[in-house]
Amino acid sequence: MDVKQRIIQRLDELIAEAEAILGTSTDGRTFEGLDAARVWRISCLPFIRQLAAADSPYYSEFEKQSMRGYSDQLRTALAVLIRLRNDYSRGYLRDLQELAAGEVFTDFLDMADHLQSKTYHVAAASIAGAVLEDSLRRLHLKHAGQWQGDSSINKLNDGLKKADVYRQAVWRQIQVWGDIRNKADHGDFNEVDPGQVKQMISGIRDFIARHEG
């Protein structure tokens, strides 16, 4: 077995572990395997960093989601790991900078679409929001320079509006998407509407095509 096959085998093992942990879910939000999930996270993080680097969308989104205590967030982290496994097996990790600018964004939005269609709209909102934040950060670098300090969708959105990158109507829509992402990330699951998430994914896809295409 060569190195690539061993890496894929290990990714498959980690994916199976997460699926087993999620099998203990009691109400769709909580699960009995919290300690097991923490051990799983510790196993995954250095492995993902070696494959995709600490500044990649794979690592940053996995790290954020896997540290939370709800099954929805663990499911999101698992979805990121599955995407990494598939992208690695297909040879898509040769140039991470190029991927972050194009194919990764598309793939993550496709992932969000799939999760939303399977009723996992909270996880879908979180992933779509991460894609949007990365896109805004790239736009800020292009039009206003490197972002300094902590970033968020709302902060980056304000900075881009100030730099006249887009008009008030676009700024207002991005604020709405940022609010949906925040609710998904902070456990306000009942306030995340499936229909709004579906529109959010489509809108973010159009926004990226218009401003980064």
Tens of pLDDT, residues 51-66: 887 778 888 888 888 8
Do both 76 and 142 map to the same domain? Answer: no
pLDDT higher than 70, residue 95:
no
Q: Is residue 3's pLDDT more than 80? A: no
Domain identity same for 49 and 7: yes
From CA 11, how far away is CA 26, in angstroms rounded?
26
pTM value is 0.58
DSSP notation for 158-182: HHHHHTTSS-HHHHHHHHHHHHHHH
Q: Which residues form the domain of 153? A: 102-213
Q: What torsion do the CA atoms of 142, 143, 148, 149 make, to the nearest 10 degrees?
A: -90
Same domain, 92 and 136: no
- Give the C-alpha separation, 173 to 99, whole Å: 26
- Ranked by mean pLDDT, the top range of 32-41, 95-104, 139-148 is 139-148
Q: What is the pLDDT of residues 138-159, one digit of tens each?
A: 898 888 888 777 778 999 999 9
Shared domain for 127 and 92, answered yes or no, is: no
Q: Are residues 121 and 70 in the same domain?
A: no
> Per mean pLDDT, which range of 2-11, 15-24, 133-142, 189-198 is the poorest?
2-11
Q: What is the pLDDT of residues 154-208, one digit of tens each?
A: 999 999 999 999 999 999 999 999 999 988 877 788 899 999 999 999 999 999 9
SS3 147: coil
Give pLDDT, residue 100.
44
Query: Residue 66's CB: how many other CB atoms inside 10 A?
Result: 23
CATH of residue 200: 1.20.120
Q: Give the residue from 111, 153, 106, 157 showing the smallest Cα distance to 133.
A: 153
